[in-house]
C-alpha cells in the first residue's frame, strides 16, 4: 500500500464504515420488524404453541434435527414435518422411540404426556405455516 | 517474557488445549454415531455429544482469546496487567463453570437440567450453540465483564496501540452481542433473527477483529516488519470484515420467515465476505516475505501463514460456495453447511489461537523458541491436523452434494434417512480422517514435552 494512504486514514474508514453499516443493519431490522407480522404466522401463537416451543427447547430437539434448516444434520428437518407426516403420525412416532433397531440412529424417549404431545404438535403446525419463501424445495425437507 | 503478569496466560492456554482434546473426542463419538446409529445410546445420545462438542469448542476458543489477550496486552501497552490476581480468579471461575456445565449435559437429562438451573425463570436454553443453562450464561457474562475490566484498565494506564484497541473492541463486541442470548421470544422468526446476532455477529464480525489483532501481533514479533505497515493492514482488513459481514448476516435470513429482500442484501454483501480473508492471506505471506529478522520460532510462522490460508479456504471459499440465495435454497441445512462450519472454525479461530500459543508458550516457559525437534513435531502436527480437516471438509462436501441431489433436486426425491444411508461411505471416510486429526493433536501435545536443546531466552 502506498505511503499516501496512511494508518489514520485506514482507521477513520474503519470506524466510519463500521458505524454506517451497523446503522444500515439496524434500519433494515426495524423494517423487518414492521414487515414480519405479514409472514411470521404470529397471529397463530397460542399458549399451547408457547408451551410447545418450550418443550422443543428443553428437550434439545435442535441437537439432532434442523428447524427451518438450522440445527444439527443428524435427523430430519422438522419445520415442515407437520405437512409431511401429519399430527397423529408425529405423536405416535415420538411415543414409540427409541426403536432399538440395531445399528440405526436412535431418538430418546422424552416421556411426554398427551397434553405435551399436543403442545409440541401445535408448535410444529405453527412453524410449518411461517412464510419461508417456498423453502424447503420439496416436502422431504 | 517482558512483563511478569503475562504469565497468567499460561493456565489459559493449557486449559484451552485440554478442552480441545475433549472437543475432538466427542467429535469422534458423533462421527461414529453417523454410521453406527446406536453407538453409546442411550448413555450419550447424539444431541448430548453435539452439545459437548460445540460448547467445548466455543469455551476453549474463549480461553484461547483470553490467554492471548493477557499475553498480548501487557506487551502492547508496555505495562503490567492491571490485576493478575483477578485474571487467575476469572480463570478458575470459568473453568469450574465450564466443567460443571459439561457434566450437567452428560449426567442429567437436558429437560431436568433446564428445570434445575432456572430455565423456567428465563427460558434461554435449547437453541443451537446457546444450550448453556441460564446460570452458566450469567457466569459467562460475569467472566467476560471481569476480563474486559482487567484488559481495559491495563489499556488505560499504558500505551494505546492499534492492535490493543482493535483487540479490545473485538472483545467488547463479543460481550455485548452475547447479551442477545438472553432474548428468546416465542415468535420463532424473531428468535432466529436475533439468535444470529450472537452467532453470526460473533464469528463473521467481532471475532474477526480479535483474530486480526492476534495475527498482527504475532506477525510483528516474528517478522520485525514496521508496526505502522502491519497496523494499516489490520485496519483495512477489519474494515472489509465489518462492511461485508454486518449486512452479510442477511444470508441467514433467506428462509426463516424474514422479508425476501434479505436474499439480495445477504447475497451481495456475503459474496464479498471472502475479501477480508483473502487479504489476510496476502497480508501474512507479504509480511513474512518482507521480514527483517529470522525468528527462531519457525513453527509459529507456519501457524500464522496457515491461519491466513485455511481461514480463506474455510470461511471464504466454502462460505461463498453456498451463500448466494439461489444456491442456498438447495444447500441450506445440509452436510455442506457442516463442511463449511468445520474448516471455517478450524482455519480461522482454532488456527489463530494455536498460532498465539505457538508463539507465546515457549516464551512463557523461558525461551524464545522450542528446540528443533519440538518444532518439527509441532509442524508435523500442523500438517496432520490441517490436511485432515481439509479432507474432512471435502468429504462432507461430497456427502452434501449427493444429499442435495437425492433429497432436493432429483425428480423422485428420497426421504432424509434413506439419503443418509446412501452417503454413509463419506461418513466412514470422515471418521477415519478424524482419527488422523486426533493423531495430529496427540503429536501436537507431545511436542510440549520434548526435552533438551532449547534455544536461549530472548
ipTM: 0.97
Find the domain containing B7 and state its range: 1-160
Look at the block and give the residue holding cell 442477545.
B180
Does residue B458 sit within a domain?
no
Burial class (CB in 10 A: 0-12, 13-18, 19+), A18: buried
Cα nearest neighbour of B187 on chain A: A42
Domains contained in chain B, number: 2
Phi, psi for residue B58 in degrees, rounded to 5: -60, -45
Q: pLDDT-derived band of residue A3, with 50, 70 and 90 as boundaries? A: low
Diameter of chain B measured on Cα atoms = 68
Does residue B193 sit within a domain?
no
Q: A130 and B246: CB-CB below 8 Å? A: no
Give dist(CA B315, CA B279) in Å, integer: 13
B408 vs A40, A42, A137: nearest CB: A137
DSSP class of B455? P
Does residue B177 sit within a domain?
no
Does residue B153 sit within a domain?
yes
Residue B100, Cβ neighbours under 10 Å: how many? 14
Q: pLDDT-derived band of residue B452, with 50, 70 and 90 as boundaries? A: low
Q: In this structure, are residues B438 and B28 in contact, taking their beta carbons and an 8 Å threshold?
A: yes
Q: Is A93 on the interface with B (CB under 8 A)?
A: no
Mean pLDDT value of segment B90-117: 98
Q: B51 and A63: CB-CB below 8 Å? A: yes
- How close does chain A come to B331, measured CA to CA in Å? 9
pLDDT at residue B407 greater than cutoff 80: yes
pLDDT at residue B457 greater than cutoff 50: no
Q: B41 and A106: CB-CB below 8 Å? A: yes
On whether both B231 and B106 belong to a single domain, the answer is no
The string of DSSP letters for B173-232 reads HHHHHHGGGG---SSHHHHHHHHHHHHHHIIIIIHHHHHHHHHHHHHHHHH---HHHHHH
Cα radius of gyration (chain A)? 22
Q: B247 and A41: CB-CB below 8 Å? A: no
pLDDT at residue B432, rounded to an integer: 98
Mean pLDDT value of segment B147-160: 97
Mutate to test the interface with A, among B184, B333, B403 (most CBs of A within 10 A): B333
- How close does chain B come to A121, measured CA to CA in Å? 15
pLDDT tens digit sequence for B195-227: 999 999 999 999 999 999 999 999 999 999 999
Give dist(CA A139, CA B8) in Å, integer: 54
Q: In this structure, are residues B379 and B302 in contact, taking their beta carbons and an 8 Å threshold?
A: yes
Residue B439, Cβ neighbours under 10 Å: how many? 15
A–B interface: beta-carbon pairs under 8 A: 229
Burial A20-46 (b: 16+ CB within 10 A, else e): ebbeebeebbeebeeebeebbbbeebe
Cα nearest neighbour of A133 on chain B: B255
Burial B377-398 (b: 16+ CB within 10 A, else e): bbbbbbebbbebbbbbbbbbbb
Q: A25 and B334: CB-CB below 8 Å? A: no
Residue B406, Cβ neighbours under 10 Å: how many? 20
Beta bridge partner(s), residue A67: A70
Beta bridge partner(s), residue A66: A71
Q: In this structure, are residues B315 and B277 in contact, taking their beta carbons and an 8 Å threshold?
A: yes
The string of DSSP letters for B326-341 reads HHHHHHTTSHHHHHHH
On whether both B247 and B300 belong to a single domain, the answer is yes
Spell out which residues of chain B touch residue A5, defining contact as CB-CB under 8 Å.
232
Give dist(CA B140, CA B134) in Å, integer: 10
Q: pLDDT-derived band of residue B451, with 50, 70 and 90 as boundaries? A: confident
CA dihedral B211, B217, B219, B225 (to 10 degrees): 140
Spell out which residues of chain B touch residue A73, defining contact as CB-CB under 8 Å.
333-335, 337-338
Cα nearest neighbour of B247 on chain A: A25
Locate B139 and state its grid cell: 457466569
Examine the fold and report which residue of B128, B160, B192 is the final residue of a domain before the chain moves on: B160
On whether both B136 and B237 belong to a single domain, the answer is no
On whether both B206 and B142 belong to a single domain, the answer is no
pLDDT at residue A2, rounded to an integer: 57
- Classify A71 as helix, strand or coil: strand
* Global pTM value: 0.97
Q: Is B126 on the interface with A (CB under 8 A)?
A: yes
Output the average pLDDT for chain B: 97
pLDDT at residue A4, rounded to an integer: 86
On whether both B395 and B277 belong to a single domain, the answer is yes
- How close does chain A come to B232, measured CA to CA in Å? 5
Question: C-alpha angle with apex A69: B48 to B27, nearest 5 degrees?
Answer: 30
pLDDT at residue B455 greater than cutoff 90: no
Mean pLDDT value of segment B287-309: 97
Examine the fold and report which residue of B135, B160, B185 is the final residue of a domain before the chain moves on: B160
- How close does chain A come to B156, measured CA to CA in Å? 19
Query: Is cis: bond before B375, omega within 30 of 0?
Result: no
Please, how many CA atoms are within 13 Å of residue B183, restricted to the half-sphere of its CB?
16
Give dist(CA A31, CA B125) in Å, integer: 28
Spell out which residues of chain A touch residue B417, defining contact as CB-CB under 8 Å.
76, 105
Q: pLDDT-derived band of residue B454, with 50, 70 and 90 as boundaries? A: low
Q: Looking at residue B211, which CATH number applies to its domain?
A: 1.20.210.10
Q: A106 and B407: CB-CB below 8 Å? A: no
pLDDT at residue B276, rounded to an integer: 97
Diameter of chain A measured on Cα atoms = 72
Spell out which residues of chain B touch residue A25, defining contact as CB-CB under 8 Å.
246-247, 249
Q: Is B415 on the interface with A (CB under 8 A)?
A: yes
Examine the fold and report which residue of B106, B133, B160 is the final residue of a domain before the chain moves on: B160
On whether both B241 and B129 belong to a single domain, the answer is no
On whether both B149 and B245 belong to a single domain, the answer is no
Does residue B140 sit within a domain?
yes
pLDDT tens digit sequence for A55-110: 999 999 999 999 999 999 999 999 999 999 999 999 999 999 999 999 999 999 99
- How close does chain A come to B95, measured CA to CA in Å? 24
On whether both B155 and B206 belong to a single domain, the answer is no
Residues 143-162 of B with CB under 8 A from A: 162
Does residue B176 sit within a domain?
no
Q: Alpha carbon of B458 to those of A109, B67, B177, B299: distances in Å?
A: 60, 20, 39, 16
Q: Is A69 on the interface with B (CB under 8 A)?
A: yes
On whether both B153 and B225 belong to a single domain, the answer is no
Look at the block and give the residue holding cell 460473533.
B202
Q: B258 and A131: CB-CB below 8 Å? A: no
Spell out which residues of chain A touch residue B127, defining contact as CB-CB under 8 Å.
57, 62
On whether both B230 and B312 belong to a single domain, the answer is yes
pLDDT tens digit sequence for A11-55: 999 999 999 999 999 999 999 999 999 999 999 999 999 999 999
On whether both B243 and B119 belong to a single domain, the answer is no
Does residue B174 sit within a domain?
no
The dihedral built from the CA positions of residue B396, B397, B399 and B400, taken in this order, carries a sign that is positive
Q: B333 and A54: CB-CB below 8 Å? A: no
A13 vs B46, B239, B256: nearest CB: B239
- How close does chain A come to B4, measured CA to CA in Å? 31
Does residue B92 sit within a domain?
yes
pLDDT at residue B458, rounded to an integer: 43
Cα nearest neighbour of B250 on chain A: A25
On whether both B251 and B386 belong to a single domain, the answer is yes
Give dist(CA B457, CA B317) in Å, integer: 40
Amino acid at each position: 500500500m502506498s505511503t499516501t494512504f496512511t494508518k489514520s486514514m485506514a482507521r477513520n474508514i474503519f470506524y466510519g464504515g463500521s458505524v454506517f453499516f451497523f446503522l444500515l443493519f439496524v434500519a433494515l431490522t426495524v423494517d423487518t420488524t414492521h414487515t414480519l407480522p405479514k409472514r411470521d404466522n404470529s397471529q397463530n401463537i397460542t399458549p399451547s404453541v408457547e408451551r410447545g416451543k418450550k418443550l422443543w427447547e428443553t428437550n434439545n430437539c435442535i441437537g439432532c434435527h434442523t428447524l427451518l434448516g438450522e440445527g444439527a444434520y443428524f435427523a430430519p428437518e422438522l419445520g415442515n414435518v407437520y405437512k409431511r407426516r401429519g399430527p397423529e403420525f408425529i405423536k405416535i412416532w415420538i411415543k414409540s422411540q427409541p426403536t432399538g433397531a440395531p445399528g440405526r440412529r436412535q431418538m430418546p424417549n422424552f416421556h411426554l404426556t398427551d397434553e405435551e404431545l399436543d403442545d409440541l404438535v401445535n408448535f410444529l403446525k405453527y412453524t410449518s405455516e411461517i412464510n419461508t419463501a417456498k423453502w424447503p424445495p420439496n416436502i422431504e425437507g | 517474557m517482558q512483563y511478569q503478569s503475562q504469565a497468567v496466560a499460561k493456565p489459559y492456554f493449557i486449559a484451552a488445549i485440554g478442552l480441545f482434546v475433549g472437543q475432538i473426542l466427542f467429535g469422534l463419538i458423533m462421527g461414529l454415531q453417523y454410521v453406527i446409529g446406536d453407538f453409546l445410546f442411550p448413555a450419550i445420545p447424539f444431541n448430548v455429544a453435539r452439545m459437548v462438542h460445540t460448547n467445548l469448542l466455543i469455551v476453549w476458543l474463549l480461553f484461547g482469546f483470553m490467554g492471548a489477550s493477557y499475553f498480548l496486552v501487557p506487551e502492547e501497552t508496555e505495562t503490567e496487567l492491571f490485576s493478575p490476581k483477578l485474571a487467575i480468579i476469572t480463570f478458575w471461575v470459568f473453568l469450574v463453570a465450564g466443567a460443571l456445565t459439561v457434566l450437567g449435559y452428560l449426567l442429567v437429562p437436558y429437560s431436568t437440567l433446564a428445570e434445575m438451573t432456572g430455565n423456567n425463570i428465563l427460558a434461554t436454553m435449547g437453541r443451537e450453540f446457546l444450550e448453556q443453562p441460564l446460570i452458566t450464561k450469567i457466569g459467562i457474562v460475569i467472566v467476560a465483564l471481569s476480563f474486559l475490566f482487567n484488559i481495559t484498565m491495563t489499556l488505560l494506564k499504558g500505551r494505546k496501540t492499534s492492535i490493543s484497541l482493535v483487540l479490545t473492541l473485538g472483545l467488547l463486541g463479543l460481550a455485548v452481542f452475547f447479551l442477545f442470548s438472553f432474548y428468546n421470544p416465542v415468535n420463532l422468526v424473531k428468535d432466529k433473527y436475533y439468535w444470529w446476532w450472537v452467532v453470526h455477529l460473533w464469528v463473521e464480525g467481532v471475532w474477526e477483529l480479535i483474530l486480526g489483532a492476534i495475527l498482527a501481533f504475532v506477525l510483528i514479533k516474528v517478522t520485525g516488519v514496521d508496526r505502522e505497515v502491519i497496523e494499516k493492514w489490520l485496519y483495512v482488513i477489519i474494515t472489509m470484515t465489518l462492511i461485508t459481514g454486518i449486512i452479510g448476516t442477511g444470508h441467514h435470513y433467506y428462509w426463516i420467515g424474514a422479508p425476501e429482500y434479505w436474499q439480495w442484501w445477504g447475497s451481495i454483501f456475503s459474496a464479498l465476505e471472502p475479501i477480508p480473508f483473502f487479504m489476510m492471506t496476502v497480508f501474512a505471506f507479504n509480511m513474512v516475505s518482507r521480514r527483517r529478522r529470522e525468528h527462531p520460532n519457525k513453527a509459529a510462522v507456519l501457524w500464522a501463514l496457515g491461519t491466513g490460508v485455511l481461514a480463506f479456504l474455510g470461511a471464504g471459499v466454502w462460505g461463498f460456495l453456498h451463500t448466494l440465495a439461489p444456491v442456498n435454497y438447495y444447500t441450506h441445512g445440509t452436510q455442506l453447511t457442516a463442511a463449511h462450519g468445520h474448516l471455517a472454525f478450524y482455519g480461522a479461530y482454532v488456527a489463530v489461537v494455536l498460532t498465539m500459543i505457538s508463539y507465546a508458550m515457549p516464551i512463557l516457559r523461558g525461551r524464545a523458541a522450542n528446540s528443533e525437534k519440538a518444532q518439527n513435531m509441532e509442524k508435523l502436527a500442523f500438517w496432520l491436523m490441517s490436511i485432515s480437516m481439509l479432507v474432512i471438509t471435502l468429504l462432507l462436501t461430497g456427502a452434501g452434494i449427493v444429499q442435495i441431489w437425492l433429497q432436493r433436486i432429483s425428480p423422485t426425491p428420497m426421504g432424509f434417512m434413506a439419503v443418509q444411508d446412501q452417503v454413509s461411505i463419506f461418513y466412514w471416510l470422515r471418521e477415519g480422517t478424524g482419527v488422523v486429526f486426533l493423531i495430529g493433536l496427540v503429536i501436537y501435545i507431545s511436542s510440549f514435552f520434548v526435552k533438551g536443546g532449547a534455544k536461549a531466552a530472548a
